[in-house]
Amino acid sequence: MPINSTSNKIPFVELKLQHQPIQRQLEEAIEAVLTQGDFVLGKALADFETAFAAASGTKYGVGVASGTDAIALGLQACNIGNGDEVLLPVNTFVATLIGVLRAGAKPIFVDCDPHTALIDLEAAAKVVTPQTKAIIPVHLYGQMVSPRQLLDFADTYKLLIFEDAAQAHLAEREGYRAGSVGIAAAYSFYPSKNLGSFGDGGMLLTREADIAQTMVRLRNYGAAKKYFHTDFGTNSRLDTLQAAVLLAKLPYLQNWNCDRNSIAQQYDQELLPLASAGILPIKNDSETGHVYHLYVIRVDDACPLSREQIQEQLAANGIQTGIHYPIPCHLQPAFTNLGYQEGDFPQAEKQAQQILSLPMYPGLSSSQIKEVVAAISSIISGQQQLMSIS
């Protein structure tokens, strides 16, 4: 599905509203790279690495080709690999899992909290073994996993915290920013992210100089210097052009996030009357620190229509939605060898059948939010009337 779709009256994501007001700055940033010709590991990359790390409350940033590489290479830089178990939520995008597997570690899935959809740390405690070395809290939909609870958990079981912050650029909770809680954090700059490039891109943030230095080598063929390879690395460098775009957009990110949070607050209020009809927003425990990469509702058993029926009828009304994610990682066909089966993670499996992501992007208007909610209300009311007649 394309990120922008002109066939939708209210698209799921609309990037033009962000890009058009700063088009001149974006063009100038790209032109500067073209003039300098430093397309690989250039000045704009170094500047962006420094700026994004500082904005996130940590010391070092290392740009890579994708968020998946940020996880895989980042875990390797943290000395997590063969024989090490890594805890991660089962309801995450498959990139989290792939990153763990590429690092050579063993993924140990954990169910989610039914209200926030974040990793259930009580469930995680039950699967810790002497081989468990790290936990990957996924700051899902733009909300951080509680830093205090994470730090207590990690201290209790002597684990590393490696954050998956791909959906949580500058998210905040309990005095921490995403990326500053654990030993390292992985980010994605896919175009639809809160801070998105004009293609793929990622970054590892860390407070540890040795991890950053290792990561610098791993992304560049494992080379400490040209033609001198000290590590088994790969080619995974954030292009200078993409870094220049991201650096130009970074000063606007905080305002864009505030806009997302305000949009979510209006959605929450508009959707309140539909709670009795089984339309329940995913809970926000972070107040204004939630940056709402996605705004997700649950269509629970009290609703007279299924999630699919509501989604189809919204589409018929020109309102585009998404599902994040329809199949939990343990039920993906590619990973049956991990030994999990249906029923192992009931909360995540139930959510996968109920969740629906509504349009969310900076610039989504109040009237558009009202139109989305009115459409959902009308769809449900129509079904209720049919049921009363029959």
Positions marked active-site: 193
Query: Can the peptide bond before residue 325 be classed as cis, meaning omega within 30 degrees of 0?
Result: yes
* Chain position carrying tokens 């063009």: 27
Residue 163 pairs in a beta bridge with 185
Q: How far is CA 336 from CA 91, 343, 364, in A?
A: 16, 14, 40
- d(CA 239, CA 196) in angstroms, rounded, equals 13
- Burial of residue 141 (number of CB atoms within 10 Å: 0-12, 13-18, 19+): buried
DSSP state of 340: -
Q: How far apart are the first and last CA of the chain?
A: 38
Residue 202 pairs in a beta bridge with 64, 188
Q: Strands 85-89, 106-110: parallel, antiparallel or unpaired by DSSP?
A: parallel
The first and second tokens of residue 182, run together, are 């654990």
3-state helix, strand, coil in the chain (%, to 5): 45, 15, 40
* 189, 197 contact by CB (below 8 A): yes
